[in-house]
Structures are given as C-alpha cells and as structure tokens.
C-alpha cells in the first residue's frame, strides 16, 4: 500500500495535470476513480485542492506589475511581516547608507556636505544594490506558544524555533544575518567561510562560520549554547562602548547581559541538554522551582505560578515533557510539600 507521502505526491500530480489545460472527460473519470479508491487519496487531494484554491488570491499581487515577469523574492516581505500596505517597490536597502561618512555638524557647510554625502550614498547604494540583487533574500519565521518549528533557510542552514519565537533572516552574498526578535532558536549552520552567519539579539551578535548553536533571548539577557564548532560573541556594531569579544568553543553556555558575558564550559553532552526542548523535553538538575516554572511557562499558555517563596526555592531535577504540565505538577505534589490549585488558565502552587 502506498505511504502517505506517495499519496500526497500522486494527488499533487493529479491536481497539476488537471490544471494543465489538457484535461479530458476520461481524465476526470480516472481521477474520480482514484479518489474513490481510498479515503486517504481523497483527503490528500482535498487538502492540496483547498490550498491551491486559496493560492488564487495571490492574483491580487500582480496588480500594477509588468506581466510575464516574476517579481523578486522578498518584495512583500515588509508587508508580510506586519504592517502597512504592500510596498509599491522593493524595500530600500538602507544598509547601503553606512558607506557614506556621517556629516559633521558644522552648520555653515551642512547643505553642501549633505548633498555630497547623499550623492555618495545614492551611488554606493546603487552599486551595492545591483551587486547584491540576485543574491538577496529575506524571510520571517515565527512559532506559537507550545510549538517547536524547524525551518530550512535558503543558504542550506536550518533553524529550529522554540516555543513563542520570532526571527527574521536576511541573506545576501556577503553575509547571513538573523535577528532573533523573541524566544530561542537552534541554528545548524551550513558551512560557508565567505559568508559568516550572525545571530543578533539584545545588543550582541553571535557569529559562526559553520556550526551548531542555540541563541535564546530573555528580558535583559541572552544565552548562547554551542554544541559544535565555534562561535564568536561580540557587540552589535555601533552599539556604544565596545565590550570584549568572547570566543565560545563547543560545550560553552554563555549568558550575556548588560554587565558582560559569563561563560561556562561543559562537556558537549551536558550542553546538549539545554537543547532538549527540541525533542519535547525540559531537563532540570537541581534547578530552583522558580526557574523550572519559568521554563514551563515558555512552552505553555496555561501558566504555572508559585504562591510562596518557600515553593519557589524548592529544587527539582529530572526530564519532563514540556507539553505535560499536569504530569509535572502531579509529581511535585507527590514528592514535595506543595498543594496545587488548578484553574483553566493556570496552576498555582502553595506550600503545604
């Protein structure tokens, strides 16, 4: 019997053939026979059919564009990411502006200098833009709370988004840039010495050439876990007084805050444990319950709240499925002097 992927491919072939224009009554009969054969066929076909019908809405995008030309990728990226109307033209490449020296603030010469700078910026922008045009790509990814999502990036790297994560990816010929807007993600970086891979978050950036590492963003802090290769953690360019650069070999768990970077070197297997959320687990080892609760809360909309400081200070260890908050609370009730009050949107723990 065909497996589900084969069925899906076959369904797609039917649909594509039906769209091809050369579709006879015989074809239609054959398709109907195939659909009747197994319910699996029908549901696979319905799914693709529904999506393809929806895709017809894309026709709205063609308005005002020259016919017969496929617009470049990322044309609607800014709009798709959030606000505003669809951009009439591609998003201007503002990064080109850094090629222009900053005009010194001398009022008398201001207009002339400004004009010169603008001209330079425009020229640099045009050249830089033209050079990059074909190589530029931009994409935005997000995961909902409770969802872990893997995405393949256009350069061959992979990103795994932890619960409640948002990131933006900018690729061009010279660099690979990821802005981690929220949450945590693991990056398996495709090797490309000519294009460093940089993840930016909270005033820092973690740069790698080809490696595997996770970056996590929290209020006021950033955590980088390296499980393969080597990562350079440095300031974002132009972010005030430069702080020292940290080199992080595999096994490093670095926590960066406003005050600097704290690096712990662990055996790689131990560092891996920070990434078990990927497989659906949270791992605690003599962890204060307060911290464990915060971890669970990253992954669940139903919150775990601690009513007493005595409860918050309890230390827990073990391997837990983050999707199963109830089981975790059940174990706590069995093993610790706590009492749980269960509400639909939260569970509150009291000292017993």
Partner 1 sequence: MLNDLDAWFVREILVHERALAGYLQRCWPHRDELHDLRQEVYARVYEAARRERPASPRAFLFATARHLMTDRVRRSRVVSIEPMGDFESSNVYPIDELCPERWTGGRQALRRLVEALDALPDRCREVVWLRRVEELPQQEVARRLGISGRTVEKHLAKGMRLIADHLFGGDPARGRGAPAAAAPLEEGHGRQQDD
Q: Please list every residue from 91 through 150 that binds partner 1, using CB under 8 A.
A: 137, 139-141, 144-150
Contact 206, 215 (CB under 8 A): yes
Neighbours of 228 (CB within 10 A): 18
Buried b (16+ CB within 10 A) or exposed e, 82-91: eeeeeeeebe
Contact 248, 263 (CB under 8 A): yes
Shortest distance in whole angstroms from residue 6 CB to partner 1: 10
Q: Using the rule CB under 8 A, which residue among 24, 26, 54, 309 binds partner 1?
A: 54
Nearest to partner 1 of 204, 320 (CB atom) = 320
Site for partner 1 in 302-321 (CB under 8 A): 302, 321
**Beta pairing partners, 200:** 179, 205
291 binding partner 1? (CB under 8 A) = no
Nearest to partner 1 of 325, 338 (CB atom) = 325
Nearest to partner 1 of 274, 296 (CB atom) = 296
Q: Using the rule CB under 8 A, which residue among 24, 25, 57, 107 binds partner 1?
A: 57
CA separation for the pair 323, 170 (Å, rounded): 32
Stretch of residues binding partner 1 (CB under 8 A), selected from 201-209, 250-258, 266-274, 296-304: 296-304
Contact 75, 90 (CB under 8 A): yes
Nearest to partner 1 of 89, 241 (CB atom) = 89
Angle, CA of 135, 140 and 141, to the nearest 5°: 130
Buried b (16+ CB within 10 A) or exposed e, 107-117: eeeeeeeeeeb
Q: Using the rule CB under 8 A, which residue among 245, 313, 327, 331 binds partner 1?
A: 327
DSSP-derived pairing of the beta strands 246-249 and 260-265 = unpaired
Q: Using the rule CB under 8 A, which residue among 24, 25, 26, 56 binds partner 1?
A: 56
Q: Using the rule CB under 8 A, which residue among 29, 30, 37, 51 binds partner 1?
A: 51
25 binding partner 1? (CB under 8 A) = no
Stretch of residues binding partner 1 (CB under 8 A), selected from 38-46, 102-110, 191-199, 249-257: 38-46
CA separation for the pair 60, 106 (Å, rounded): 49
326 binding partner 1? (CB under 8 A) = yes
Shortest distance in whole angstroms from residue 3 CB to partner 1: 6
Shortest distance in whole angstroms from residue 100 CB to partner 1: 30
- Report residue 211 as tokens: 């490696």
280 binding partner 1? (CB under 8 A) = yes
37 binding partner 1? (CB under 8 A) = no
Angle, CA of 67, 72 and 77, to the nearest 5°: 115
- Report residue 203 as tokens: 């005033």
């Amino acid at each position: 019997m065909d497996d589900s992927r084969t069925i899906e491919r076959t369904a797609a072939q039917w649909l594509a053939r039906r769209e091809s224009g050369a579709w006879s009554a015989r074809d239609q009969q054959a398709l109907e026979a195939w659909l009747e054969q197994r319910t699996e066929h029908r549901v696979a076909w319905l799914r693709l059919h529904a999506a393809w019908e929806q895709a017809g809405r894309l026709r709205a995008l063609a308005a005002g564009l020259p016919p017969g030309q496929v617009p470049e990728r990322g044309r609607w990226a800014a709009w798709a990411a959030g606000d505003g109307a669809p951009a009439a033209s591609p998003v201007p490449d503002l990064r080109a502006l850094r090629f222009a020296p900053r005009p010194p603030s001398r009022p008398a010469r201001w207009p002339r200098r400004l004009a010169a700078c603008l001209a330079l910026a425009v020229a640099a922008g045009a050249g830089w833009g033209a050079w990059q045009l074909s190589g530029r790509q931009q994409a935005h990814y997000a995961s909902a709370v409770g969802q872990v999502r893997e995405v393949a990036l256009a350069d061959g790297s992979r990103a795994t988004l932890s619960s409640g994560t948002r990131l933006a990816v900018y690729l061009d010929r010279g660099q690979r840039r990821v802005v981690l807007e929220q949450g945590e993600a693991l990056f398996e970086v495709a090797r490309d010495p000519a294009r460093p891979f940089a993840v930016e978050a909270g005033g820092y950036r973690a740069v790698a050439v080809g490696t595997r590492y996770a970056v996590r963003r929290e209020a006021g802090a950033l955590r980088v876990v390296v499980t393969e290769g080597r990562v350079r953690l440095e300031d974002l360019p132009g972010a005030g007084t430069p702080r020292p650069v940290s080199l992080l070999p595999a096994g490093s768990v670095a926590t960066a805050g406003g005050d600097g970077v704290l690096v712990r070197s662990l055996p790689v297997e131990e560092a891996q444990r920070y990434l078990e959320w990927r497989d659906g687990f949270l791992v605690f080892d003599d962890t204060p319950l307060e911290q464990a609760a915060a971890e669970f809360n990253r992954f669940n909309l139903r919150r775990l709240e601690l009513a007493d400081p005595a409860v918050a200070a309890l230390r827990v260890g073990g391997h837990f499925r983050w999707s199963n908050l109830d089981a975790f609370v059940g174990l706590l009730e069995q093993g610790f002097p706590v009492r749980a009050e269960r509400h639909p949107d939260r569970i509150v723990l009291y000292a017993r």
